[in-house]
Amino acid sequence: MNKSQLVDKISESADISKAAATRALDAFIDSVGDALKAGDQVSLVGFGTFAVRERASRSGRNPQTGTTIEIPASKQPAFKAGKALKDSVNE
């Protein structure tokens, strides 16, 4: 499912216009992104938790030359599914 299909589904389910559904989805995405940038996590009970995870620096290889390179440490967004979401997928 892509973003436009999700907007169609939200519009249908909530009985709102597609424009309103698009604004709501964009606001949700922006809000989660802003919270993660601030170092917070977003927990939606039953759905899951969005958080930031630290990745340590590590060694890698350049596939073209085979030389070893150092990959710097970084922060990665992560999602952990909640129990209700896991259960609904496994039905």
Q: What is the CATH number of the domain that holds 81?
A: 4.10.520.10
User: HSE-up of 14 (CA within 13 Å, CB side)?
Assistant: 15
pLDDT, tens digit (0-9, with 9 covering 90-100), for 71-81: 999 999 999 99
pLDDT, tens digit (0-9, with 9 covering 90-100), for 24-81: 999 999 999 999 999 999 999 999 999 999 999 999 999 999 999 999 999 999 999 9
CA distance 19 to 9: 12
Amino acid 91: pLDDT: 85
- Residue 9 dihedral angles phi and psi, to the nearest 5°: -65, -45
Tell me which residue range forms the domain holding 8.
3-89
Amino acid 56: pLDDT: 95
How many domains, the chain? 1
Number of other residues whose CB lies within 10 A of the CB of residue 82: 16
